[in-house]
């Protein structure tokens, strides 16, 4: 097997810094509600995913798992999640209820973190379906918390873009799996993501 061209891979320190900044942006709070000053259009939607640590770690996990699995999952999973998430948001805006949203969000972190920690490699279709199923819950949470009088399209574009950036941070970190030590680090990160999910699940049930 030909050795990968490491010159094309983000420096490990840079990748770790990106992920750390994204996680810190999520803050310690579990609420998904953005402060009134940030509510509204694109900026409100963009900030919304960053105000729930359970959202943040699950979205980073999608990118991590995609990078761990390699092409084509590295791009398919991060594309699938925002697209289906937007559908979940539309369902909420239309007033359609989805049961167990908070449980679904917490479970997404548990399952995706476990997939990474266990180095699970299901068929590509199976991985995409897992990601899509959880995206419904995340999207519904965003749509249900749409502030009154907001620009629905701009808000939706905002949270989809923020989600994409979180996926990219996960991919950057996940590329470390190309090195033996980095592979261990990625799997340990999966354990941490799963533990965060368990903590939120204990509050949701």
150 pLDDT exceeds 90?
Answer: no
16 pLDDT exceeds 50?
Answer: no
Say what the pLDDT of residue 201 is: 95
Say what the pLDDT of residue 9 is: 37
- H/E/C letters for each residue in the chain? CCCCCHHHCCCHHHHHHHHHHHHHHHCCCCCCCCCHHHCCCHHHHHHHHHHCHHHHHHHHHHHHHHHHHCCCHHHHHHHHHHHHHHHHHHHHHCCCCCCCHHHHHHHHHHHHHHHHHCCCCCCHHHHHHHHHHHHHHHHHHHHHCCCCCCCHHHHHHHHHHHHHHHHHHHHHHHHHHHCHHHHHHHHHHHHHHHHHHHHHHHHHC
All structural domains of the chain with their residue ranges? 58-204
User: Tens digit of pLDDT for each residue in 91-115?
Assistant: 998 999 999 999 999 999 999 999 9
User: What's the mean pLDDT in 152-163?
Assistant: 87
State pTM to two decimals.
Answer: 0.78
* Whether 34 contacts 26, CB under 8 Å: no
User: Tens digit of pLDDT for each residue in 45-98?
Assistant: 788 778 888 889 999 999 999 999 999 999 999 999 999 999 999 999 899 999
Calculate the average pLDDT of the chain.
82
């Amino acid at each position: 097997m030909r050795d990968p061209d490491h010159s094309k891979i983000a420096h490990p320190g840079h990748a770790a810094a990106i992920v750390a900044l994204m996680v810190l942006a999520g803050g310690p709070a579990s609420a998904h509600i953005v402060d009134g000053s940030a509510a509204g259009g694109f900026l409100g939607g963009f900030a919304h995913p960053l105000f729930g640590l359970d959202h943040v770690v699950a979205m980073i996990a999608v990118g991590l798992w995609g990078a761990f699995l390699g092409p084509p999952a590295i791009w398919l999973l991060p594309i699938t999640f925002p697209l289906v998430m937007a559908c979940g948001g539309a369902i909420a805006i239309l007033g359609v209820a989805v049961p167990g949203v908070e449980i679904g969000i917490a479970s997404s972190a548990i399952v995706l973190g476990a997939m990474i920690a266990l180095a699970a490699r299901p068929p590509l279709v199976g991985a995409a379906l897992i990601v899509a199923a959880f995206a419904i819950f995340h999207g519904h949470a965003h749509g249900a918390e749409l502030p009154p009088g907001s620009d629905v399209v701009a808000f939706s574009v905002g949270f989809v873009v923020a989600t994409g950036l979180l996926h990219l941070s996960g991919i950057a970190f996940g590329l470390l799996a190309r090195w033996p030590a980095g592979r261990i680090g990625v799997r340990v990160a999966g354990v941490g993501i799963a533990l965060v999910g368990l903590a939120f699940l204990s509050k949701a049930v």
